[in-house]
Amino acid sequence: MVSALRCLSVSACVHSPRYPGGNTPVVIDRECVIVQPKIAEANRPVPDTNGGGTSPPPDDPPQPDGDGTKPGDGPKETPLPTRFRGTVIISSERPARDMGQVVEAIIEQLTTIPGASVELKLEIDAEVPSGIDKGKSRTLLENASTLGFIDKELD
């Protein structure tokens, strides 16, 4: 029996004599393999006539499909992504609300993954057509230093 087959086929799962009425919910996830019905039937356990139970199907090697691949030779599992990068524009009128949404929807998702290392960077780009006076400039630079800004500049 092909051990990787957890769900032999949607039709076999739904219309099987084990599940009268065909109302059994079928969950297709990344561990479920859907195959052609003839392949599923060839790999179905054979009822054991000696003492009940089932026995594996005969040990006939699987025949290649028309494309030369053997049944069960699906595409190789692609590697999972290991990095997330994102940039978002935050409203200057309601930054706390927008940041809260980013924290809930993205940052919390990432920080709950065991072993994840999450680094956040906040970039501020402000343009003041009339200019920033000396007092405000000094306040901005001092606050940026106190808050640990890596880069800060006025021009």
How far apart CA 155 and CA 137 sit, in angstroms, is 10
Q: Would residue 100 count as lying in a domain?
A: no
Both tokens assigned to 143: 């606050």
How far apart CA 55 and CA 20 sit, in angstroms, is 23
Q: Would residue 40 count as lying in a domain?
A: yes
* pTM reported for the whole predicted model: 0.47
pLDDT of residue 29: 56
Query: Which helix H or strand E contains 47, and what residues bound it?
Result: strand 46-47
pLDDT of residue 38: 75
Q: Would residue 118 count as lying in a domain?
A: no
pLDDT of residue 12: 37
pLDDT of residue 106: 95
Beta bridge pairs of residue 55: 46
The number of distinct structural domains making up the chain is 1
Q: Would residue 41 count as lying in a domain?
A: yes
Domain containing 13 equals 1-74
Both tokens assigned to 155: 């021009």
Q: Would residue 55 count as lying in a domain?
A: yes
Q: Would residue 140 count as lying in a domain?
A: no
- Taking 70 as the pLDDT cut, the residues of the chain under it are 1-36, 47-74
Q: Would residue 136 count as lying in a domain?
A: no
